[in-house]
Homo-oligomer: A and B are copies of this chain.
Amino acid sequence: MTPIGSEIERLIQLLSRLPGLGPRSARRAALVLLKKRDTLLEPLAAAMTGAAAAILTCETCGNLDTISPCAICADARRDGHVLCVVEDVADLWALERAGVFRGRYHVLGGALSALDGVTPEKLNIAALAGRAKNGVDEVILAMNATVEGQTTAHYLTDLLTGVKVTRLAHGVPVGGELDYLDEGTLNAAFKARRAL
């Protein structure tokens, strides 16, 4: 028999499905939630219910927001001539945090992977081809530097004809130490070296 009531058990079981939380940390999280009922459990439950009701997938770019088209697609100050293609909404968030890009995005919803059965039809690629033909000067492929990400980038480069296609630079990460970098990264950084 378990000492834990079924309500708590269910809470732990669902929490353990979050990335970063195993069974043990899910139990700790459940206890913290139950101890901080007014300040954490109830606000979090309300925030989840609110998010479940309010959050939409942008029909233009695939971003998540409470409106569709999303705030980025609807923002007239952003440059509609440049499209940045990312695998995931998390990547879009990362680029926005860095504040390097003032154009619009296109979220694929994953990367091509023969192993996992992710074919082009399963990604938001058909819509990208359509958008790229519509007043877009440059498509920046900001895939992850993984096998899947680079496979996807190659596929998209072949697909997107009649528009300038670029990809992010490979090299030494800022703050990175050469000693800890893999050969592939060092190789790429050497090949793309620049005159000072």
A interface residues, Cβ below 8 angstroms from B: 2-5, 7-8, 10-11, 14-15, 17-21, 25, 27-34, 37, 40-45, 47-52, 54-55, 63-66, 71-72, 88-90, 92-93, 96-97
Contacts and interface: CB of A to CB of B under 8 A. Distances in A.
Q: Is the interface of A mostly helix, strand, loop or mixed?
A: helix
Contacts of A37: 52, 55
For the complex formed by this chain, how many copies does it contain in all?
Answer: 2
A9 to B, nearest CB: 10
A191 B35 CA distance: 39
B51 A34 contact: yes
Tell me which of A3, A32, A92 has the highest count of chain B C-beta atoms within 10 A of its own C-beta: A3
A99 to B, nearest CB: 9
B52 A42 contact: yes
Given A4-B93, A7-B66, A11-B47, A32 B18 contact: yes
B88 A8 contact: no
Residue among A34, A48, A54, A71 with max Cβ neighbours from chain B (10 Å): A48
Contacts of A3: 63, 71-72, 92-93, 96-97
